[in-house]
């Protein structure tokens, strides 16, 4: 199956030459790890003298990789975004292969959920134009999502590949909901309520 690629320009036209360049770059850098089943979306934007390439690559079900790079040359911005993804894939090459082998039996164990985007608090708290109704935040958008069943190592890998600040998952070891997140000191935090429950039960 050939790579499925979409290239979108944000308030700018994107020609076939750039689309072909991005496809060839991704095929060279990413395709050698995953020969098929790759879906990618590149969003190109220009601000002043710089171009930004926001790149998303889906490999199979559940593996999302994201990167964003800027350069005065739009082709170099796209190349740097693709290379950044390839660098993280090289780091996780063995674990990605292990994940694909072990995840086959856990595909149907994901929990269906809803994801919400909430309106941020206004800087001027005296501005009542966007007051929350009954003290509840205003929902800007709502989307369907899934909470995957993963090991802790797989959860950290997915969070890193997608450059996410946090990730909720169902721990495959015991079925409970866990969270991994990036700490300000650069380390990874892991929240497991089951550990607390076990400690309380043991007292």
Cα 6 to chain center, whole Å? 17
More confident residue, 7 or 135: 7
Number of domains in the chain: 2
131: CATH: 3.30.505.50
Whether residues 73 and 118 fall in one domain = no
Quote the strand ranges of 14-163, DSSP E. 38-47, 50-59, 63-71, 111-118, 139-147, 149-150
Whether residues 113 and 198 fall in one domain = yes
Predicted pLDDT at 132: 54
Whether residues 81 and 121 fall in one domain = no
Q: How large is the average pLDDT for residues 35-55?
A: 87
User: Pick from 118, 114, 115: which is nearest to 139 by CA?
Assistant: 118
Global pTM reads 0.71
Predicted pLDDT at 67: 93
Residue 137 lies in a domain: yes
How many angstroms separate the CA atoms of 30 and 22, rounded?
11
Whether residues 67 and 152 fall in one domain = no
Predicted pLDDT at 201: 47
How many angstroms separate the CA atoms of 200 and 203, rounded?
5
Q: How large is the average pLDDT for residues 177-202?
A: 80
- Return the structure tokens found at 131: 């007051």
- Give 90-137 pLDDT, tens digit per residue: 888 777 766 665 655 555 577 888 888 888 877 665 555 555 566 778
Question: What is the three-class DSSP state of 41?
Answer: strand
Residue 103 lies in a domain: no
Phi-psi region of 166 (alpha: psi -120 to 50; beta: other; left: phi over 0): beta
Whether residues 65 and 150 fall in one domain = no
User: Pick from 71, 4, 83, 84: which is nearest to 44 by CA?
Assistant: 71
DSSP at 133: B
Average pLDDT, the chain: 82
120 C-beta neighbours (distance < 10 Å), count? 10
60: CATH: 3.30.160.100
Residue 187 lies in a domain: yes
Predicted pLDDT at 36: 58
Give the domain extent around 72.
Answer: 4-91
Instruction: Among 60, 91, 122, identify where a domain stops.
Output: 91
Whether residues 85 and 14 fall in one domain = yes
Confidence of residue 75 (pLDDT cuts 50, 70, 90): very high
How many angstroms separate the CA atoms of 46 and 71, rounded?
10
Whether residues 128 and 44 fall in one domain = no
Residue 33 lies in a domain: yes
């Amino acid at each position: 199956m050939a790579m499925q690629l979409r290239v979108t320009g944000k308030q700018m036209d994107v020609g076939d030459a750039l689309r072909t360049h991005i496809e060839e770059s991704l095929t060279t850098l990413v395709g050698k790890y995953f020969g098929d089943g790759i879906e990618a979306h590149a969003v190109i934007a220009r601000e002043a003298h710089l171009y930004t390439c926001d790149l998303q690559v889906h490999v199979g079900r559940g593996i999302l990789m994201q990167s964003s790079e800027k350069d005065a040359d739009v082709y170099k911005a796209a190349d740097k975004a693709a290379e950044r993804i390839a660098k993280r894939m090289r780091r996780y090459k063995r674990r990605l292969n292990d994940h694909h082998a072990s995840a086959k039996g856990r595909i149907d164990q994901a929990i269906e959920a809803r994801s919400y985007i909430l309106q941020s608090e206004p800087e001027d708290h005296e501005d009542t134009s966007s007051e929350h109704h009954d003290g509840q935040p205003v929902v800007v958008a709502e989307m369907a999502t899934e909470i995957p069943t993963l090991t802790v190592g797989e959860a950290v890998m997915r969070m890193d590949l997608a450059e996410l600040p946090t990730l909720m998952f169902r721990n495959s070891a015991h079925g409970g909901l866990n969270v991994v997140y990036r700490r300000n000191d650069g380390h990874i935090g892991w929240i497991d309520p089951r550990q607390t429950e076990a400690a309380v039960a043991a007292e």
